[in-house]
């Protein structure tokens, strides 16, 4: 059993609630009557285990969860792509805003929300 609690009865939404995409996704889900549990990744950054679980549930490598063009990454220089998984996790935990999001989970299914209407796929 993983560290991320999941349920078939609600959607867990890992997001920065201040972003436009997260606001639209939440509004779309509520308009559709979908029960949402929102996890604010800025106030409560995901743990290393949760980051690894999210990557696994999305069938992605941890480094693929990073917004490569995010300004906070480039303010310190070029983005190094040869980091270890632990380094990527540390980077995400230190700067949760670089995590691609929203990530929606329902039961054992997870999706990276691209457009707000994607939420109904889950």
| Buried b or exposed e, range 22-37, using 16+ CB within 10 angstroms | bebbbebbeeeebeee
Distances (CA, A) of 24 to 58, 96, 109, 112, 117: 21, 20, 21, 14, 9
Please say whether the beta carbons of 27 and 117 come within 8 A: no
Entry pTM:
0.89
- The pLDDT of residue 86 is above 60: yes
| Residue-level pLDDT at 32 | 92
Dump pLDDT digits (tens) for 9-65.
999 999 999 999 999 999 999 999 999 999 999 999 999 999 999 999 999 999 999
- The domain of 49 spans 11-121
Residue 90 falls inside a structural domain = yes
- The pLDDT of residue 78 is above 50: no
Q: What domain count does the chain have?
A: 1
Over residues 109-120, mean pLDDT:
94
Residue 48 falls inside a structural domain = yes
Residue 4 falls inside a structural domain = no
Lowest-confidence range among 32-41, 81-90, 109-118? 81-90
Over residues 116-121, mean pLDDT:
91
Rounded Cα–Cα distance for residues 19 and 29 (Å): 16
Q: Name the strands in the sheet holding 109-112, side by side, starting at the edge strand that comes first in the sequence.
A: 36-40, 11-15, 103-106, 109-112
Supply the CATH number for residue 49's domain.
Answer: 3.40.30.10
Rounded Cα–Cα distance for residues 74 and 45 (Å): 21
């Amino acid at each position: 059993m993983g560290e991320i609690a999941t349920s078939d009865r609600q959607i867990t939404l890992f997001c920065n609630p201040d972003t436009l995409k997260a606001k639209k996704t939440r509004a779309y889900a509520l308009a559709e009557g979908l029960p949402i549990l929102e996890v604010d990744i800025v106030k409560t950054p995901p743990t290393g285990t949760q980051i690894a679980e999210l990557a696994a549930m999305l069938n992605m490598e941890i480094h693929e969860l990073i917004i490569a063009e995010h300004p906070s990454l480039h303010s310190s220089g070029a983005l190094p792509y040869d980091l270890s998984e632990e380094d990527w996790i540390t980077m995400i935990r230190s700067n949760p805003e670089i995590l691609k999001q929203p990530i929606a989970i329902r039961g054992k299914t997870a999706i990276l929300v691209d457009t707000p209407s994607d939420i109904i796929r889950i």
